Chain A
Amino acid sequence: MMPDLGKYGAEVLSAYGATIALLAVLVWASWVRARRVRAALEEAEARRKDAEG
């Protein structure tokens, strides 16, 4: 299944590896930060409701 990359195999694979790793870090970091901020905001709004109620 793996194509024959000839003498440039290391270059092609390292380019794909670096790209996929960087994109994965970007997506993961964006998602984790989104979840963290959302949870913190929900907590703050609940605290505010309690204080008003």
Chain B
Amino acid sequence: MSIWEYANPRRFMGWSAPLVPLFSALAALLIALGLVWGFFFTPEDYRMGSTVKIIYIHVPSAMMAINIWVMMLVASLIWLVRRHHVSALAAKAAAPIGVVMTLIALITGAIWGQPMWGTWWAWDPRLTSFLILFLFYLGYMALWAAIEDPDTAADLTGMLCLVGSVFAVLSRYAVNFWNQGLHQGATLSLDAEENISDVFWLPLLVCMAGFGVLFAALVLLRTRTEIRLRRLHVLEARDRTGRKGSGEG
């Protein structure tokens, strides 16, 4: 069977049904474990004090904010090239999750920045590109809501997603492009010399996995809802046409 057949709405509803409760339970477990571990059982950092505990929510949410946009980009490209409706609906379903993740990253970053940098906000490359990414998410959702024809909405939001991807990439690599601004480099790195201590990164890794699985659970749940909503609109349209036809006849 071709991989594209899994994107058939009926088939998608079949295979995704058992995964939603499974991923939900796994996400709850991982997030609870990671946050309890990070909050209660990790030491203070010698420079940041107890504010280091904010990384367990800030880093996973920032990571997801960027990765969700990348997922939306891939889904939009599949829609634009192959016209698979489920991929367009999955991109639409992911956007509100991305908005919340970006908002969490911005809020927790500001709360951390106030005592560490002495300011809630700075027009730093990474912070600014994250704010623009947040606005792109809002614009993307507004565009879906503003266009009545779902295929036209999927086309236009797909194009917007391509443009917004520049800022998703900038958000990720802004600190590497410009050697200025307040934001430090990546918290996790494959280079062992630059990485944070094990005592911090192990619970952080659990939190990142938890946020990732939570996204998987929510995007499946929300895509299933979008598929049902599409079917509902079709039935309502048929009802209206039938009533009009019988009235005229």
A-B contact count (CB 8 A): 97
Query: Within 8 Å of chain A (Cβ to Cβ): is B229?
Result: yes
Contact of B57 with A1 in the complex, beta carbons under 8 Å:
no
Q: Count B-side interface residues using an 8 Å CB cutoff.
A: 38
Complex Cα gap A3–B44 (Å):
10
Query: Within 8 Å of chain A (Cβ to Cβ): is B9?
Result: no
Contact of A22 with B228 in the complex, beta carbons under 8 Å:
no
- Shortest beta-carbon distance from A37 to chain B in Å: 5
What residue in chain A is nearest B31 (Cβ atoms)? A23
Contact of A16 with B35 in the complex, beta carbons under 8 Å:
yes
Question: Within residues 29 to 46 of chain A, which ones have a CB less than 8 A from any CB in chain B?
Answer: 29-31, 33-34, 37-38, 40-41, 44-45
Contact of B111 with A11 in the complex, beta carbons under 8 Å:
yes
Contact of A18 with B104 in the complex, beta carbons under 8 Å:
yes
User: B96-131 interface mask toward A, CB cutoff 8 Å, 1 = contact, 0 = none?
Assistant: 110010011001100110110000000000000000
Q: Which of B49, B112, B239 contacts A6 (CB 8 A)?
A: B49
Contact of A27 with B50 in the complex, beta carbons under 8 Å:
no
- Shortest beta-carbon distance from B105 to chain A in Å: 10
Contact of B40 with A1 in the complex, beta carbons under 8 Å:
yes
Give every chain A residue within 8 A of B96 (Cβ-Cβ).
Answer: 26, 29-30
State the A residues within 8 Å of B (CB).
1, 3-9, 11-12, 14-16, 18-19, 22-23, 25-27, 29-31, 33-34, 37-38, 40-41, 44-45, 47-48, 51
